[in-house]
Amino acid sequence: MSPDKKRLRVGVLFGGRSGEHEVSLASAASVIRGLDPDKYETVPIGITKEGHWLIGSSAQKLLPEVLRTGQRVTMSADPTDAALVRLDGSGGGQRIDVVFPVMHGTFGEDGTIQGLLDLAGLPFVGAGVLGSAIAMDKDIAKKLLRAAKIPVVPWIAIHRDEWERNEFATVHQIEKEFPYPLFVKPATLGSSVGMTKVHSRQELAPALNLAAEFAMKIMVERAVTAREIEVSVLGNHDLQASIPGEIVPHREFYDYAAKYLEQGTQLLIPANLRPAQVKKFQHLAMQAFRALELNGMARVDFFLEKPSGKIYLNELNTIPGFTSISMYPKLWEASGIPFPQLIDKLIELAIEQHAEKARTKYAIELPSGASGALDM
């Protein structure tokens, strides 16, 4: 057998139509560097901001170049193909064994790509359709966390049309519920896009309008004064939780500028916590992972309220940042799993989950002639 037949062909999906397109490029470049070339043949699969799919050669390490000069392909939804099909009319394809989606946010982390990969019959890294969609919707996620008795910051969710049709009543409802300051954010976005810390009534309507530009549902939350603690979780059935880390933003909160534009935010690994607190965070992180029906990986973000010491779960990210300075891989490194081993493990988990799905029957076997009553 040639070495290439033995190597697993890993499609690394990056870019995409979300606001986190650029972040995805940085994360994907780092995942590609972590794929051991003795074990894997990498197929970089870029999705442009318009939604075109392009593939590069496995030697192509410059991802913006793949987006400019790669070959146009489409993902076949036919599971007997298990492949990307060239759009140049040649009928050619590229077989893929497993997909690593490294796209954050809308159309990447929200279950849509995962649905396509399920149709295509391909194993993929990370949460499935259901878990991805749940984790992407902060309102639904919090409802499930609350049902699992995991503490979350009090919130209300307001549909955009409700706000637009009745501004006065909405403001009244919010003010009845929470004192200022409060947070207003789109329910289904990441990277702090469309989010405002609202200090007074004057700021409320503009904040709701801004959030409404980015999602159909708006979250309004009490603002907590808190340390921000993050835990990485890995696994399908048997979960592992990393040591917790801490984010110390240099701005009023961990907004888009603090995340990507400015330096100054500190990552503390490990977070300075008492052993009992570490245990508590790890336990809650794994419980939350199960409550949201996740698979493979997630970064679980918490608030540790000052000075009460109360813990709240803020959110779970099913495709966390994967750049060389990102919290998810760094926490694993500090917990004894170096980056290339982490990537191996995630691919193993993807294949395990795929095998688990394949055990499920989708129909009962009808005895011959039994379909006679169906009008086909």
Ligand X SMILES: Nc1ncnc2c1ncn2[C@@H]1O[C@H](COP(=O)(O)OP(=O)(O)O)[C@@H](O)[C@H]1O
Chain centre to alpha carbon of residue 265: 21
Residue 192 within binding range of ligand X, rule CB under 6 A: yes
Q: Which one-letter DSSP state was computed for residue 303?
A: E
CA dihedral 57, 60, 63, 64 (to 10 degrees): -90
Whole-angstrom Cα Rg for the chain: 22
Query: Exactly one of 11, 19, 20, 34 is catalytic; which is it?
Result: 20
The question of whether 301 is a catalytic residue gets the answer: yes
Shortest Cβ contact with ligand X: which residue?
Answer: 254
The residue among 164 and 253 lying less far from ligand X, judged by its C-beta, is 253
CB of 155 to ligand X, least distance (A): 8
Residue 230 within binding range of ligand X, rule CB under 6 A: no
Residues between 231 and 260 with contacts to ligand X, criterion CB under 6 A: 249, 253-254
Amino acid present at 65: E
| Residue count of the chain | 376
Candidate residues 232, 314, 326, 335; the one interacting with ligand X per rule CB under 6 A: 314
CA dihedral 14, 91, 42, 260 (to 10 degrees): -10
The question of whether 317 is a catalytic residue gets the answer: yes
CB of 35 to ligand X, least distance (A): 27
CA distances for 175 relative to 167, 209, 326, angstroms = 12, 17, 37
Residue 156 within binding range of ligand X, rule CB under 6 A: no
Residues between 1 and 30 with contacts to ligand X, criterion CB under 6 A: none
Candidate residues 20, 137, 228, 246; the one interacting with ligand X per rule CB under 6 A: 228
CA distances for 61 relative to 18, 325, 340, angstroms = 22, 19, 17
CB of 149 to ligand X, least distance (A): 19
The question of whether 20 is a catalytic residue gets the answer: yes
H and E: helices and strands count for the chain? 13, 17
Residue 100 within binding range of ligand X, rule CB under 6 A: no
Residues between 161 and 190 with contacts to ligand X, criterion CB under 6 A: 183, 185, 190
CB of 311 to ligand X, least distance (A): 13
For residues 14 and 26, the answer to whether their CB atoms sit within 8 Å is: no
The end-to-end CA distance of the chain, in Å, is: 47
Residue 326 within binding range of ligand X, rule CB under 6 A: no
Q: 31 exposed, middle or buried (CB, 10 Å; 0-12, 13-18, 19+)?
A: buried
Residues between 263 and 302 with contacts to ligand X, criterion CB under 6 A: 301
Query: Exactly one of 242, 301, 326, 335 is catalytic; which is it?
Result: 301
The question of whether 365 is a catalytic residue gets the answer: no
Alpha-carbon distance 374 to 142, whole Å? 43
Candidate residues 97, 137, 221, 230; the one interacting with ligand X per rule CB under 6 A: 221
Residue 223 within binding range of ligand X, rule CB under 6 A: yes
Pairing of strands 217-222, 311-317: unpaired
User: Edge to edge, what strands does the sheet with 53-55 contain?
Assistant: 93-95, 83-86, 71-75, 53-55, 40-47, 8-15, 98-101
Say how many residues touch ligand X, by CB under 6 A.
Answer: 16
Query: Exactly one of 111, 232, 299, 314 is catalytic; which is it?
Result: 299
Kindly list the catalytic residues.
20, 191, 260, 299, 301, 315, 317, 321
> What is the contact surface with ligand X in residues (CB under 6 A)?
153, 183, 185, 190-192, 221, 223-224, 228, 249, 253-254, 301, 314-315
